[in-house]
Structure 1
Amino acid sequence: MPRKVFASHVFDRKVVVITGGCAGIGRALVKRFAQAGAKLVILDLNQEALASLAQHLRDHLNVEASTYVCDVADAERVAEVFGQIIQQHGGIDLLVNNAGITHRSTFAQTSLSVLKRIMHVNYFGAVHCTQAALPSLITRQGQVIVLSSLSGFAPLLYRSAYNASKHALHGLFDTLRVELKDSGVNVMLVCPGFTATDIRKNALVGDGSVTNQPPLAMGKVLSAQDVAEAIYNGAIKRKRLLVLSNVDWRARILARFFPRIFERLLLPRLSGLKPRG
């Protein structure tokens, strides 16, 4: 996918907040909006990774970014951080709810603590950040971008909590979009397909531990840079829904209207299961 680095000035000097910004799609988004001239605010759990990314932006793009250590699942910390962001920058023009975690375990073998942790980060993390940013976004007629997944509309095996969190995001932000229709604030849900990130390496298992997972048989995998470019272009156009799935419309249609066919033909492959020999 071609990258037109300076094709638009839409986000020039706009305050862009990206959660989970130090790796994967989040890191690629940070770089893309930096190239577009945005004032970047990066949230992540890892102080060293934040410092390293900020240095990279200074050295390679001549960009200064504000960084905050923040667990988006912690409502009090989110409120504190967003208060500091608004005080420092005067407001927020774009919030990208990117932070997320996953797991790989059957529902029966997944502890309640893991189910809660996935929901606290993936769903309530977006809730906390959006509530904290919303007054400023309304004032500036800004935009909220939410990273969902193809599992937001199609089930994936061994990721029940992850799937549930993505379905919850659609329910919340589709409703929020309607509520904000006269405010000038845009809400865009993004559903990438399989993307080359480290989220699988950090996946939880049923007891809550992090264990190296075997490679998944996922077929074609998108790069984080290509996903970030598509999200950037979608943000310029203020789209409502951006589907970047490697199986795109087929999974959506089959999962919704022909679930038995979906479960037989696509579900094993989408879940990363190798075909039986």
Structure 2
Amino acid sequence: MRVVLITGAASGLGWQLARACHARGDALLLTDIDSQGLAARVDTLGAERVLGVPGDITDPALHEQLLEACRQRFGRLDVLFNNAGITHRSPTVRTAPAVFRKVMAVDYHAPLELTLAALPLLRESRGQVAAIGSMAGWMPVLGRAGYCAAKSALSQAFEVLRAEIGLDGIGLLLVYPSFLDTPIDRNALGADGQPARHARSTIGNVRSAEWMAEAILVALRQRRERLFPDRGSWLASLLWRLAPALYYRQMSRRFAGELR
């Protein structure tokens, strides 16, 4: 029986990953800052092979608590899903520095630090790490400077990390989704750190979290290194590299509402 740790597991993609992993027989260690939502999810799945540990993923003490709980309850760790995330929708020049720091802490520092702390357990199982990046880490998107920066940092760090931990037999999958129907966008921060008050702009298809979870599990079974599930966004990232002026014109029209 595989043991899976999922961050941000109370809703969205994290919850769909939990459901899919539980259905295939995995034992789950779930965490989320939403303690009530997490408890409800554990109740839904049943506590026989599911443990919930609530907390702030940016807190190193939570990382220690999670890994100790994993050792004590399950004795191993096979897959770490770095799923927890946060975004903002606000013009860079009007965004409070605290918003940028929070996005970077959740989307970059936390997954890297948790992964490093989990390496001893993952070495024992020759396990796998999955990190949820974003196409925003590959190309600029108006109104999301902090999110683009955090996901770019995540991508670069984990691309380097893959080669290093691969020497220990640990696999690393980087997932680059485009727009998903999850609470991360509904809970986006505004310039002042309060919930954003305008609807998000999108390109391409808005995919379901369930669809994304299934694609991720297939990629893990295949021990792939990268997953680009949305062809349209992948092509847009190529346009940014090959014809950046054209990309900027199209993005500026599509995302004009982000400058309010």
Q: Is TM (by shorter chain) over 0.5?
A: yes
Q: Which residue of 2 aligns with 1:22?
A: 10
Percent identity between the two aligned chains:
33
TM-fit CA distance, 1:213: 2.9
In structure 2, runs of 5+ residues without a counterpart are none
Q: Which residue of 2 aligns with 1:101?
A: 86
Aligned residues: 258
> Tell me, what secondary structure is at the counterpart of 1:200?
helix
Does the CA contact (< 8 Å) of 1:94 and 1:142 recur in 2?
yes
Does the CA contact (< 8 Å) of 1:218 and 1:272 recur in 2?
no
Q: What TM-score comes out, normalization by structure 1 length?
A: 0.88
Q: 1:185 to 1:272 in 2, by over 3 A?
A: farther
> Tell me, what secondary structure is at the counterpart of 1:244?
coil
CA RMSD of aligned residues (A): 1.8
Compare 248-257 and 148-157 and name the one that shifted more: 248-257
Q: Which residue of 2 aligns with 1:38?
A: 26
In structure 1, runs of 5+ residues without a counterpart are 1-12
Q: 1:223 aligns with which of 183, 198, 208?
A: 208
> Tell me, what secondary structure is at the counterpart of 2:184?
coil
TM-fit CA distance, 1:96: 0.3
Does the CA contact (< 8 Å) of 1:152 and 1:163 recur in 2?
yes
Q: Distance in 1 between matches of 2:63 and 2:119?
A: 13
Q: Does 1:48 align with 2:36?
A: yes
Q: Distance in 2 between matches of 1:158 and 1:247?
A: 20
Q: 1:94 to 1:268 in 2, by over 3 A?
A: farther
Q: Does 1:162 align with 2:147?
A: yes
> Tell me, what secondary structure is at the counterpart of 1:145?
strand
Q: Distance in 1 between matches of 2:234 and 2:36?
A: 40
> Tell me, what secondary structure is at the counterpart of 1:209?
coil
> Tell me, what secondary structure is at the counterpart of 1:86?
helix
Does the CA contact (< 8 Å) of 2:122 and 2:128 recur in 1?
yes
Q: 1:78 to 1:181 in 2, by over 3 A?
A: closer
Q: What TM-score comes out, normalization by structure 2 length?
A: 0.93
Q: Distance in 2 between matches of 1:267 and 1:32?
A: 38
Q: 1:185 to 1:264 in 2, by over 3 A?
A: same
Matches within 5 A, 1:169-188: 169-188=154-173
Q: Does 1:243 align with 2:228?
A: yes
How far does the alpha carbon of each residue in 1:171-196 deviate from its partner, in whole angstroms, 9 at most, with x for none?
11000111122211011100111111
How far does the alpha carbon of each residue in 1:68-123 deviate from its partner, in whole angstroms, 9 at most, with x for none?
01211111222222222222211211000000000011111111111110011111
Does the CA contact (< 8 Å) of 1:110 and 1:206 recur in 2?
yes
Does the CA contact (< 8 Å) of 2:35 and 2:54 recur in 1?
yes
